[in-house]
Amino acid sequence: MAIEVDMMKKVPVSEQDPKVRAANFEEVCLGYNEEEAKAEATRCLNCKNPKCVDGCPVSINIPGFIEKIKDGDFEAAAGVIGEASSLPAVCGRVCPQEKQCEGQCIRGIKGESVSIGKLERFTADWAREHGIKPVKKAASNGRKVAVVGAGPSGLTCAGDLAKMGYEVTIFEALHKAGGVLVYGIPEFRLPKDKVVAKEIENVESLGVEIKTDYIIGRSETVDELMEREGFEAVYISSGAGLPMFMHIPGEQALGVYSANEYLTRANLMKAYRDDYDTPINKGRKTVVVGGGNVAMDAARTALRLGSEVTVVYRRSEQELPARAEEVHHAKEEGIVFELLTNPVEILEDEEGFVRGIRVIRMELGEPDESGRRRPVEVPGSEYEIECDSVIMALGTTPNPLIPGTTKGLDTTKKKCIVTDEETGATSKDGVFAGGDCATGAATVILAMGAGRKAAKGIDDYLNAR
Amino acid sequence: MYKILSAELLAEKTYRMVVEAPNVAHACEPGQFLIVRAEEESERIALTICDYDRDKDTVTIVFQTIGESSYKIAEKKAGDFFADVVGPLGNPAEYITEPLEEVQKRHYLLVGGGLGTAPVYPQAKWLKEHGVDVDVIIGTKTHDTLIMEQDMIDAVGEDHVFVTTDDGSYKRSGMVTAVIEDLVKNEGRHYDRCVSIGPMIMMKFCVKMTKELGIPTIVSMNPIMVDGTGMCGACRLIVGDEVKFACVDGPEFDGFKVDFDQAMKRMKLYKTEEGRRMLKYEESKQGKNCGCKG
């Protein structure tokens, strides 16, 4: 049966019922089927000057792949995406499309933009389910490049370099490749075995070797990789590092976690599954502090582990940095948002366990350097929220391991590696960097964009030698 | 996969294993640690590096069975494999990076309490091999729980190893703090540096004593960790009023600055959860000893 399309609105996508999914770790969004995808594709205006492509950090030919979906040639659509992205099934699920491609879509001016993210996801899922491999292995040019960290940035850079013929080895500190895709983003948003592992296999099928349990900066330094192991260039994509805390009283109480710890236990170490040994404190009432994607992931994970959850964020709904879809999903699932609210103290019981959090109301003042209105405390508005767990999702500072062990690698005041934005080049000859270790905590797609640019930067650098 | 070459029981619940782990063996130094994951479903457990052999690509670990995952490590035999061995983690002991001639001017006192004797061993060995004067105190509950006495004697010489048992069942009697006091006040020993590794409560009192005696003291902290590479933040400690992370800032810190009470409090966190899992595990072992994983 043909689907009736309202040109002003996105073809709706099926999702797990909020009440059901709040108690499981299965994927929330079920994605388009073939008919829905073809129907949604008809909404694309195929603009001569496609703004959506400008909005994409890896410049996918968006009207190009949507055109192929319209024709029902899904394999060709996957081919178009594959030219620009190594991880399309991931991006279709986790990119902040409303701020990127979909935010630029002409359809969005009067109605809803084309559902580009869902179409990308459909294409990638279809290709995977039909056993389609993106590109064939290139002939080796005999030149070795090392990549540090198997997260989205490293995988993208490695994939692009392998397509150019380089012999690429990725060194990963954890026991599993994927970086934030496996330790940070939860299963219900990004399935690990079904999606992430398969996309990593695709990168490996290009000839990329991934060595896990291998810590650059400890097992071997960047200098040693170049001097002893014959790598002609190194791309550092070691990701985000240590979690930030608020430095308020009670932050060392038992039951206060960083979102990194909480999510790593739940995702990488699979604490939510009975067949894994990892302990996790399943709070009864959890307060999550922060308003980004990581805060939403932590809140929704705690909810699924059986806790009541409140998100405390110091600005208003408009400033929430999380993807719109995540906030929408979180609300549907029953997470309470205390906006314009900021913690001042974590309260402990006599045993040292969290018993609550004291917060203060905020109001928005003048815009600050980020352009957002600065939240200011409302005097005398303090109150307490009862809880037994507090998860701090306030961002991270870069990992000090590599800058601390690599000679001549400049960092900024905030300890980010200094890079040339166009090429990824650092202050050290032959060493490139990108992703969170260079920019501070950002998104998967921006890290991938940096990986792509650096692959080109490395190729130009090595060709000029 | 990482092959276990030998496995032995040193004392009750205390095991020593030699494991093939070239990435760790080639780079590790005294003061650092590693992480083991016994099986795919196991936790990442931070363990002490007790010795290493760069030529043979091996590291030696010594550990006690406390939680479910450490039992899974202990159940392994020579010839079995660990899913993961990753390291070295943390920073090497400070004297490794200091000019050797400076280090050689000092007299070192190393204090190992219980399992802490194991990470003290490579430090003692390194210092001795580099011509540095070193005495070692081994403190333990009772004679049966004593580990690595002969290894330590072989490393630094019989005259430089002092064993004390809490119950007086072997050699000296009493806590390590009493031995430190005796050595300095009554036996004419002089120390410029102390390295103390053991249970937090022992390190706390050890530091109290060395502070009185004016001996700068390094302690090695082993808080809860998940990744061990500077990501999760679980291993945070208060050191000199600052938040520090044991995995990337430590594990060794200035003992005079560590807030031990805070650190001990945080250790409690998973005790109940861990305890519950332990009970479940012990029960399941009694219930079905068929060797299957069902």
B226 touches chain A (CB under 8 A): yes
Q: What single-letter amino acid sits at B145?
A: T
pLDDT above 50 (res B269): yes
Mean pLDDT of A47-60: 93
Instruction: Using the structure block, give the residue that is written with the tokens 């979102």.
Output: A259
d(CA B127, CA B32): 15
CA B161, B165, B171 angle in degrees (round to 5)? 55
Mean pLDDT of B234-252: 88
d(CA A316, CA A314): 7
Tell me the CATH class for A14-129: mainly alpha
- Residues B34, B136 share a domain: no
Percent of residues, chain A, with pLDDT higher than 70: 99
Mean pLDDT of B30-48: 90
- Residues B215, B112 share a domain: yes
Asked whether the beta carbons of residue B86 and residue A175 sit closer than 8 angstroms, the reply is: yes
A340: left (phi over 0), alpha (psi -120 to 50) or beta: left
Q: Return the minimum-mean-pLDDT range out of A129-143, A346-360, B30-44, B239-253.
A: A129-143
d(CA B186, CA A369): 64
d(CA A281, CA A256): 10
Mean pLDDT of A280-293: 90
Mean pLDDT of A269-284: 78
Residue B228 lies in a domain: no
- Residues B131, B171 share a domain: yes
Q: What single-letter amino acid sits at B17?
A: M
- Domain end point (choices B71, B89, B107): B89
- Domain end point (choices B68, B89, B110): B89
Write down the H helix ranges in A305-353.
324-332
Picking from A175, A214, A239, the nearest residue to B37 by CB comes out as A175
Asked whether the beta carbons of residue A401 and residue B23 sit closer than 8 angstroms, the reply is: no
The alpha carbon of residue B210 is apart from the nearest alpha carbon of chain A, in Å, by: 27
Picking from A245, A280, A400, the nearest residue to B248 by CB comes out as A400
Q: Which chain A residue shows the shortest CA-CA distance from B227?
A: A174
Q: Which residues of chain A does B262 touch, with a Cβ-Cβ cutoff of 8 Å?
A: 252
CB B21 within 8 A of CB B34: yes
Looking at residue B189, the DSSP 8-state letter turns out to be: -
Strand order in the sheet with A233-236: A209-211, A167-171, A144-148, A233-236, A431-433
Count of structural domains within chain B? 2
What is the distance of C-alpha A114 from the center of its chain? Answer: 22
Q: Which residues of chain A does B83 touch, with a Cβ-Cβ cutoff of 8 Å?
A: 175
Q: What are the beta bridge partners of residue A145? A: A168, A233
A395 touches chain B (CB under 8 A): no
Which of these, A272, A357, A280, lies nearest to A311 by C-alpha position?
A357
CATH of A144-241+397-463 among 3.30.2320.50, 3.50.50.60, 3.40.228.10, 3.60.21.70: 3.50.50.60
Which of these, B148, B127, B153, B147, lies nearest to B218 by C-alpha position?
B127
Give me the sign of the Cα torsion angle A235, A236, A239, A240.
negative
- Residues B104, B73 share a domain: no
d(CA B163, CA B169): 11
A158 vs B70 pLDDT, higher one: A158
Residues contacting residue A435 through CB under 8 Å, at least 6 positions apart: A149, A151, A152, A153, A154, A237, A239, A442, A446, A447, A450, A451
Residues A245-394, CATH architecture: 3-Layer(bba) Sandwich (3.50)
pLDDT above 50 (res B291): no
Residue B167 lies in a domain: yes
- Residues B147, B72 share a domain: no
ipTM comes to: 0.83
Residue B292 lies in a domain: no
User: In the prediction, which pLDDT does B290 show?
Assistant: 35
Q: What are the beta bridge partners of residue B33? A: B48, B89
Residues A380-416: pLDDT tens digits? Answer: 999 999 999 999 999 988 888 899 899 999 999 888 9
- What domain range is B210 assigned to? 94-220
Q: Which residues of chain A does B24 touch, with a Cβ-Cβ cutoff of 8 Å?
A: 219
User: In the prediction, which pLDDT does A240 show?
Assistant: 82
d(CA A296, CA A309): 10
**Same fold: A14-129 with A245-394:** no
User: In the prediction, which pLDDT does B287 show?
Assistant: 42
Residue B114 lies in a domain: yes
Band (pLDDT 50/70/90 cuts) for residue B286 is very low
Mean pLDDT of B134-157: 94
- Residues B126, B209 share a domain: yes
* CATH code of B157's domain: 3.40.50.80
Mean pLDDT of B208-218: 95
A206 vs A351 pLDDT, higher one: A206
Q: Which residues of chain A does B248 touch, with a Cβ-Cβ cutoff of 8 Å?
A: 241-242, 399-401
User: In the prediction, which pLDDT does A86 show?
Assistant: 84
Residues A138-195: pLDDT tens digits? Answer: 889 999 999 999 999 999 999 999 999 999 999 999 999 999 999 999 999 999 999 9
Q: Which two tokens stand for residue B265?
A: 């409090």
User: In the prediction, which pLDDT does A73 show?
Assistant: 96
- Residues B153, B114 share a domain: yes
- Residues B213, B101 share a domain: yes
pLDDT above 60 (res B294): no
User: In the prediction, which pLDDT does B273 show?
Assistant: 52
Share the mean pLDDT of chain B. 88
* CATH code of B52's domain: 2.40.30.10
Residue B100 lies in a domain: yes
Band (pLDDT 50/70/90 cuts) for residue A113 is very high
Q: Which residue ranges make up each domain of chain A?
A: 14-129, 144-241+397-463, 245-394
Mean pLDDT of A362-366: 92
Helix (H, G, I), strand (E, B) or coil at B32: coil
Provide the strand spans (E) within A191-236.
Answer: 209-211, 233-236
Q: Which residues of chain A does B68 touch, with a Cβ-Cβ cutoff of 8 Å?
A: 277
- Residues B122, B53 share a domain: no
Q: What are the beta bridge partners of residue A146? A: A169, A234
- Domain end point (choices B89, B118, B140): B89
Residues contacting residue A374 through CB under 8 Å, at least 6 positions apart: A364, A365, A366, A367, A368
Give me the sign of the Cα torsion angle B57, B32, B155, B118.
negative
Residue A389: phi and psi, rounded to 5, are -140, 145
- Chain length of chain A: 465
B287 vs A244 pLDDT, higher one: A244
Residue B258 lies in a domain: no
- Residues B181, B77 share a domain: no
Asked whether the beta carbons of residue A241 and residue B85 sit closer than 8 angstroms, the reply is: no
d(CA B19, CA B25): 9
